[in-house]
Amino acid sequence: MTERSFDDSVQHYTTAVRDFAVRLAVDLAGRLAAERERWELWLPVGLGFGIALYFALPVEPALGLGAEVAATLAVLTLAMGRQPARLGALLVLLTGALGFTAAQLRTWSQTAPMIGRELGIVTVTGRAIITESMPDGVRLTLSEVTIDRLPAEATPDQVRIGLKSRYTAPPPGSMIRVRAMLHPSAAPAEPGAYDFQRQAFFDGNGAVGSALGTPTVIEGPPPSTWRGLMLQMEALRAALHQRCVEVLPDRATSTVTEALLNGEQTAIPQDVMNDYRYSGLAHLLSISGLHIALVAGLVYFLVRALLALIEPVALRYPIKKWAALTGLLAAFAYLALVGPAAPTLRSVLSTGTVMIAIMTDRNPISMRLLMVSAVVIMAYTPEQMLGPSFQMSFAAVGALIATYEVANPWLHRWRTSTGAAGQAVLYLAGSMLTSVVATVATLPFSLYHFQQMALYGVLSNMIAVPLTTFWVMPWALAVYGLMPFGLDAWALVPMGWGVAACNWLAHITAALPGSVLWVPAMPVPGLAAIVLGGLWLLLWLGRWRLWGLVPIFLGFASILAAPHPDLLVSGDGSAMAVRTADGGLSFNDVKAGTRLIGQTWLHRDGTNQAAEPWPADGRSNDGRLSCDALGCLYRAGGLTVALVRDRPALEEDCDIADLVVAVEPVHHCPGPTIIDFWSLRHNGAHAIWLTDGKITLRAVGPERGRRPWNTQRESPAPGPDGGYTGEP
C-alpha cells in the first residue's frame, strides 16, 4: 500500500467514526429532548453520586470544599443562560456537589467522640434511654455518659451495654452506674465488608460493651422535656413487651408480635430470624414501608368509611382529605411508638408524601413523589444511602412504579371488563407480579450486602403479605386502641395466631431444599453498574431504556470475575482462614468459624459452611497446610506463608517463608513480608492473595482511610528488615 492510499484510508475511517459520533449525539439529544419531563427524576442520582464520592475518599476533605464547589457551579449555571448542553452538564455537576456538601455537613454535625481501643473494666454512669430485649438479656443505650479514667472531651455521648438475663435491668430513664467492659464498635471483618463503626458514628454510639453486674440506680438530674417525652414512649414500648410475654407464652410468637408492635427485633431467637431471612420474609420484621403504609392506609380507609356514613358530612366536606390527614397523623404516632430508626423515618416520609398528595389532589403514587422522598432523606441523612435498607426499599418501590406505569392501561381494561372471578384472578396476578418485581429489584442489593438469595421468596410473600395486611396489622391497630382499657389481650391473641402462621410459613419455606442460594460478594463496581443500569431502565419511558440491561448484565457477571483471597486474618489475629484446594475456607479453630467475623468471611465467600479446621499437628487433607505446636506453614501459588503460633518459630520461618503472619510484634526478620501485631492493630483485618509467586495484600485500614469513624490508625511504613517499626 502506498503512502497516499494509506492516508486516504485513515481519512476515510476517521470521517466514518466522526459521522457515527455525530449521528449518535444527535440521536441521544433527540431522545433526551423527548423525555424532558423525566429529567428531574435524575436529581437524586446526582445527589447520590456526590454522597458516594464523599464516602469513597481516603481522607476527610476540608469542610468548605463541597460548598465552595457547589457555589462556583451555581454561578456558572446561572451564567450559561439558555445553552442546553452546557447547562445540563453543569446541573449534573451541581447536584453532585450538593450531595457531597450534604454528606460533609452530616459528618461535621456528628461531633461526639468514639473510643479507639479496649478500655478494660471501667465504671460507666449514664441515663438508660433505650432498653432493648435480647435473647439472653437486654441491651441498654446510655446517654449523659461519664466513664472513669476517661477525660470528658474523649467520652462518647452514648454507649451500648449488654446486660445478661441474670442481672436486673433498670427502669427506662433512670440514671445508673455499672461496671462494664467497653470497646469500640466492630471494624469491617475484611476489606469491603460492612462498616459497623461508620454506622455507630452516625447513630451517635461511641462504644459498646457488656455489664459485669446489676446496674445501680442513682440520683440524677431530671431529663429534658424532649428526652422525657422519648422516655415515655420507651416506657410504652416496655409495656407492650411485657403484655406480649404475658399473653403469648410461645417465645417465637411473642417476640415477632413485639417486633411488629414496638419495633424491637432484638429479642427474636436466632433460629426464627434465620427462617425469615432464608424464606425471603425478613422485611416483615423490619418496621418499614409495608408496616407504615398499612397503619396509615388502614386508618385512612377506616376514617373515610366512617365519615361516609354521616351523610351531611360526606356531602359538604372533603372527607377524603380529612382521612388522609388522619392517616398521616397515624403514621407519625406509629413512628413515635416503634422508635425513629432510619428505615422507619424513611417510610414515614414516603407514606406522608402520599397522604399529602391526596390532600393536595395529586397522584399519590408517582416517580416524582418517590424522587422527593429520596432527595429529602439523602439531604438529611446521606449515610443511609450506603445501607441495604435505603437501597432495597427505593429499588422495590421504584421498580413497582415503573412496572405499573407500563402495565396500568392493560390492567385497567381487564378491571373494567371482567366479573368477580376475573377480579379475583386479577388480584392474584397483581400479587404475583408485585412479589416478582420487588424480589428482582432488591436482588442485587441482597447479593451485595448479604450474599444470599431466597429462592422461594416470591411464593412465601404471596401468602405472608396478604396475611400480614388483612389479619396481623388490623389486629395490631386494635391492640393499640384496646390497651388503655386493659382489653388488649382480646386483640393480641388473634394477632398471635397470624404471627404464628407467618412463623410456620417462614420455617417450612426455609427448610425446603435449596431455599437459599449463596454467592460470593459482589464487587463495588459491579453493584455500581447494576444501579446505573437499573436507573436507566426505570427512569426513562422510551425503548432506549432497555440499554440499561447491558450494565445490569455486566454487574451480575462481576460476581464470577471477583478473585477469592487465599488467606484471611482478623484485626486482632485471633481468627485466620486459608483457602483449601477445593475452594473452601478452613479456620484456625472451630470457634473462629462460628463467630461473627468467621460467618462474615464464609458468607462473602459464597457459602454457609466451613471446611475442616486446621490440624493441631500434621498435614491437612489437601496437603496445603502443615502444623505443629509452634505454628503452621501454608503453601499456595508457589509461595509459603508462616502462620506463627509461638515466637520460637520466627527464626526458622523468617528463613523459609515469603510471608509471615504473627499476632506478636516481629523484629529483625529480613526477607519475607510481615503482618504482625502492629500492622493488625493499625490496619485491621487483612485479605491476602497468593498468585504465581506474587503476594497481594489488602487491609481494612488503608481502604477505609483517615475518616472520623475510623478508630484505627494506619500503620507506619515497613522498616528496612521488612517488619514494622513498632508503636509510633
Q: How far is CA 320 from CA 77, 325, 328, 386, in A?
A: 42, 9, 12, 37
Q: What cell does 273 get?
A: 430470624
Which residue, 46, 74, 109, sits at the end of a domain? 109
**255: closest CA among 246, 244, 247?**
244
Question: What is the CATH classification number for the domain harbouring 194?
Answer: 2.40.50
The pLDDT of residue 164 is: 92
Same domain, yes or no: 291 and 272: yes
355 within domain boundaries: yes
CA distance 137 to 153: 31
Same domain, yes or no: 662 and 690: yes
* Rg over CA atoms, the chain: 29
Give me the amino acid identity at 551: P
The pLDDT of residue 725 is: 34
Same domain, yes or no: 496 and 411: yes
The pLDDT of residue 559 is: 92
Number of domains observed in the structure of the chain:
5
Same domain, yes or no: 645 and 501: no
Same domain, yes or no: 63 and 131: no
Same domain, yes or no: 480 and 406: yes
The pLDDT of residue 469 is: 84
HSE-up of residue 375 (Cα within 13 Å, Cβ side): 16
CA distance 426 to 518: 34
CA distance 365 to 399: 12
Q: Which residues pair with 625 in a beta bridge?
A: 634
Is the Cβ–Cβ distance between 123 and 179 less than 8 Å? Answer: yes
Tell me the pairing of strands 567-569 and 452-454: unpaired
Same domain, yes or no: 416 and 486: yes
Same domain, yes or no: 508 and 365: yes
Q: What cell does 190 get?
A: 475484611
List average pLDDT for each run of 10 residues in the chain, which is 728 residues long.
60 74 79 84 93 94 90 84 72 92 93 86 92 87 91 91 90 91 91 91 91 91 80 84 90 92 86 92 76 82 88 85 89 78 71 82 76 88 89 88 83 74 74 83 92 88 87 90 90 95 95 91 94 93 91 94 91 91 89 82 90 89 89 91 85 87 86 88 92 91 89 47 35
Same domain, yes or no: 499 and 471: yes
CA distance 553 to 521: 16
For residue 195, the enclosing domain spans: 120-223
The pLDDT of residue 139 is: 92
Which residue intervals of 473-595 are DSSP H helices?
A: 473-482, 489-510, 524-539, 549-561, 590-594
Same domain, yes or no: 494 and 577: no
Q: Which residue has the cell 470521517?
A: 15
Is the Cβ–Cβ distance between 458 and 439 less than 8 Å? Answer: yes
Which residue, 561, 587, 616, sits at the end of a domain? 561
664 within domain boundaries: yes
User: Taking phi first (over 0 means left), then psi (-120 to 50 degrees means alpha), and beta for anything else, what does residue 441 get?
Assistant: alpha
710 within domain boundaries: no
